[in-house]
């Protein structure tokens, strides 16, 4: 056991209007503290990711859970996933409309054979596993002057050396009904392998899927430190265009993040560093 732990969360890659910036910082800080509390007391990376993402899903500032945007039919459809890097198990749900915490249903799927359940099938699974339900309207928050798109996510490393990654999103505003983005797809919106690292992404789902960006980032982490691996992934994304933000913890506990969007709300904490929140990578002086 290394006793070292670390956690990083994000609240979405996008342009954050001035009036909403403090809410993004505070929301990320609350979420990272929720994850850190689990890890400090010896809890698992999976439990830390679930706790942090639930906090983000509870906060209408973010486009996930209670803050979700609506599709072209004016309906909410949420996606979420979690990956346990200790055994490469994955649980994901997509196009769900009545789950209070999509990330928790994704967690319930970790021991199951299916990797991804969608729509009615996912909601039936959730009912059978005692999930919390709500009316679809309860998940929709007005985003006023915020583009209100994109994803939240978390990566955590626990004291046993296990890494987990998670994502949750209300998708893209006015997207086609039934459209699923990168967030619930392993190798696209997230990936975790405790021998290498964990990553969680945010941004334009179609671009991230077309470049299998989480897979590229994990592959780069096999030979590079997080900073150059993130630069490599963002360079790959340039081939198709699109905005993205990426958070990383590698197997040695190095925490880093990057983005090509104007802003990317992030907070991180570790055994050695207190929780801090940022809106742009240039505010965070560390280098990995
Ligand atoms: N990154 C979220 C989505 O495209 O659905």
Instruction: Name the residue with higher pLDDT: 141 or 161.
Output: 161
Read off the tokens for 65: 């859970």
Looking at residue 146, its pLDDT comes to 60
Burial of residue 232 (CB within 10 Å: 0-12, 13-18, 19+) is middle
**Closest Cα to residue 172, out of 280, 8, 14?**
14
Interval 109-121 mean pLDDT: 98
Q: Looking at 61, 70, 98, 151, which residue is catalytic?
A: 151
Q: Which domains does the chain have, with CATH numbers?
A: 6-280 (3.60.20.30)
| Mean pLDDT across the chain | 95
pLDDT at 149 over 90: no
Query: Residue 143's pLDDT band (boundaries 50, 70, 90)?
Result: low
Give pLDDT, residue 93: 98
* Cβ atoms within 10 Å, residue 195: 11
Give residue 286's pLDDT band: very low, low, confident or very high (50, 70, 90).
Answer: confident
pLDDT at 148: 55
d(CA 100, CA 166): 16
Using the mean position of ligand 1's atoms as its centre, give its distance from the Cα of residue 172 in Å: 6
β-pair type (151-157, 6-14): antiparallel
Give pLDDT tens digits for 167-178: 999 988 889 999
Q: Determine the atom of ligand 1 nearest the C-alpha atom of 179.
A: 5
φ/ψ of 151, rounded to 5, equals: -125, 155
- Residue in 72, 81, 183 to alter for ligand 1 test, most ligand atoms within 8 A of Cβ: 183
User: What does the pLDDT average to over 183-203?
Assistant: 98
pLDDT of residue 172: 86
The question of whether 15 is a catalytic residue gets the answer no
Average pLDDT for 87-111: 98
| Contact yes or no for 7/269 (Cβ under 8 A) | yes
Long-range contact pairs involving 225-229 (C-beta distance under 8 Å, separation at least 24): 225/250, 225/254, 225/256, 225/288, 226/197, 226/250, 226/254, 226/255, 226/256, 226/288, 227/256, 227/258, 227/287, 227/288
Distance of CA 78 from the midpoint of ligand 1 (Å): 10
Name the one residue in this structure whose structure tokens are 């070292």: 4
Ligand 1 centroid – CA 273 distance (Å): 30
Does the C-beta of 200 come closer than 6 Å to ligand 1? no
Q: Is the CB of 77 under 6 A from ligand 1?
A: no
pLDDT band at 144 (very low <50, low <70, confident <90, very high): low
Please tell me if the CB atom of residue 86 comes closer than 6 angstroms to any atom of ligand 1. no
pLDDT tens-digit map of 232-264 = 999 999 999 999 999 999 999 999 999 999 999
Task: Ligand 1 pocket test: pick from 181, 212, 245 the residue with the most ligand atoms within 8 Å of its Cβ.
Answer: 181
Ligand 1 and 61: CB distance under 6 A? no
**171 CA to middle of ligand 1, Å?**
5
The helix or strand, by DSSP H or E, that contains position 36, with its residue range, turns out to be helix 21-40
Query: Does pLDDT of 55 surpass 90?
Result: yes
Phi first, then psi: what are they for 213, rounded to 5°? -65, -35
Q: Is 70 exceeded by the pLDDT of residue 67?
A: yes
Task: Judge whether residue 145 has pLDDT over 80.
Answer: no
Residues 6+ apart with CB under 8 A from 273: none
Which atom of ligand 1 is closest in space to residue 180's alpha carbon? 5
Q: Which residues pair with 245 in a beta bridge?
A: 202, 259
Lowest mean pLDDT among 62-71, 151-160, 194-203: 62-71
> Does any ligand 1 atom lie closer than 6 A to the CB of residue 68?
no
Is the pLDDT score of 266 beyond 70? yes
pTM: 0.97
């Amino acid at each position: 056991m290394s006793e070292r732990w670390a956690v990083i969360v994000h609240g979405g890659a996008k342009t954050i209007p001035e009036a909403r910036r403090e809410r993004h910082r505070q929301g990320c800080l609350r979420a990272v503290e929720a994850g850190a509390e689990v890890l400090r007391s010896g809890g698992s990376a999976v439990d830390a990711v679930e706790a942090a993402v639930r906090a983000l899903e509870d906060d209408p500032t973010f486009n996930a859970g209670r803050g979700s945007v609506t599709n072209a039919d004016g309906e909410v459809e949420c996606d979420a996933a979690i990956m346990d890097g200790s055994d490469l198990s994955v649980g994901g749900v997509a196009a769900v409309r009545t789950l209070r915490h999509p990330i928790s249903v994704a967690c319930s799927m970790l021991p199951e054979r299916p990797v991804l359940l969608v729509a009615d099938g996912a909601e039936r699974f959730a009912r059978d596993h005692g999930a919390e339900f709500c009316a679809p309207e309860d998940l929709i928050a007005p985003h006023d002057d915020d583009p209100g798109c994109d994803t939240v996510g978390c990566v955590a490393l626990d004291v046993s050396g296990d890494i987990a990654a998670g994502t949750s999103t209300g998708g893209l505003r006015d997207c086609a009904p039934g459209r699923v983005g990168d967030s619930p797809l392993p190798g696209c919106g997230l990936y975790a392998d405790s021998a290498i690292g964990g990553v969680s992404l945010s941004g334009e789902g179609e671009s991230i899927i077309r470049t299998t960006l989480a897979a590229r980032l994990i592959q780069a982490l096999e030979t590079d430190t997080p900073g150059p691996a993130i630069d490599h992934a963002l360079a790959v994304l340039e081939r198709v265009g699109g905005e993205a933000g990426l958070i990383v913890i590698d197997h040695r506990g190095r925490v880093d993040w990057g983005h090509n969007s104007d802003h990317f709300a992030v907070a991180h904490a570790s055994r050695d560093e207190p929780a801090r929140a940022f809106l742009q990578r240039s505010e965070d002086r560390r280098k990995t």
